[in-house]
Amino acid sequence: MPPIIQSFTAKHAFLSPLFRSAFYYDGDQYNSPAAAFEAAKTLRREDRVSFVGWNCKPWNARKLGKNTPKSWMRPDWDAAQFDVMMEIQRSKFSWPILREKLLATDDAQLLHGNAFHDNVWGICLCQSLPAGKQKYGVSSRCTGDGGNRLGLILMQVRQEIHAGLHLSPIVPRCAPDTTDVPFAA
C-alpha cells in the first residue's frame, strides 16, 4: 500500500496552493496557484492585474478572490474551475525544481487534509484534531471524506510527468517564433 501524504505543510508545503513559486498561467506570471486560480475567475484579463506578479501574496489572493464582483465572474466558473486548477498545476510543476519535488513523492497518495472545512479541494480533518488545533471549530459535515480534487489533480500531474509530459517550463510567447528563420549571412 502506498504511503499517504495528508498535509501540504512543512516538507510538503510545495504541494499547497499557497506555496510561493513563480510560474505562468494564461500569459501572466503568478507567484502562487492561489493567485492564478482567483484571477482565472474573472472574465476580462485586465481585471486580473491585482493577482499578477509578486505583489499578490497567496493568502491575500483568496481574500481578494472572494470579493470579486459577480459581474466580473466567468459564467462557466463552476464547471471550469477544475480544468483551470489542472492547467495551473501543470504549469507550476513544469519547472524543474518543483517537478523533482513532486516526483519525489513517488506513488504516495496525496490528500489535501485541512481543518477549514474544505471538502471539495481537500478533506477536512477537523473532527480528528485535538481541540487546540481546531482553529475553525468542528463541523458535522466533515467526516474525513471529501472530494480531494487538489490531491487528485496533483497525482494526475505527477503521472503525466512520469509519462514524459511537461518536461520544459511553460512560458508565454512574447515574440514571434524565429526558430525556423535562417540567419542572414
Tens-place pLDDT, residues 122-180: 988 877 766 666 666 667 777 777 799 999 999 999 999 999 987 788 877 654 444 44
pLDDT at position 116, please?
A: 79
Instruction: Show Cβ contacts of residue 63 under 8 Å, excluding neighbours closer than 6 positions.
Output: none
Q: What's the rounded Cα separation, in Å, for the pair 57 and 20?
A: 8
Reduced 3-state DSSP string for the chain: CCCEECCCCHHHHHHCCCCCCCEEECCEEECCHHHHHHHHCECCHHHHHHHCECCCCHHHHHHHHHCCCHHHECCCHHHHHHHHHHHHHHHHCCCHHHHHHHHCCCCCEECCEECCCCCCCCEECHHHCCHHHCCCCCCCCCCCCCCCHHHHHHHHHHHHHHCCCCCCCCCCCCCCCCCCCCCCC
Count the residues in the chain. Answer: 185
Query: What's at 50, amino acid-wise?
Result: S
Q: With 90 as the cut, is the pLDDT of residue 74 above it?
A: yes
All 3 cell numbers of residue 68?
Answer: 470579486
All 3 cell numbers of residue 168?
Answer: 520544459
What CATH number does the domain located at 4-112+148-162 have? 1.10.357.40
Domain boundaries, the chain: 4-112+148-162
pLDDT at position 110, please?
A: 98
For the ranges 71-75, 93-97, 131-135, the lowest mean pLDDT is seen at: 131-135
Tell me the mean pLDDT in the region 91-99.
94
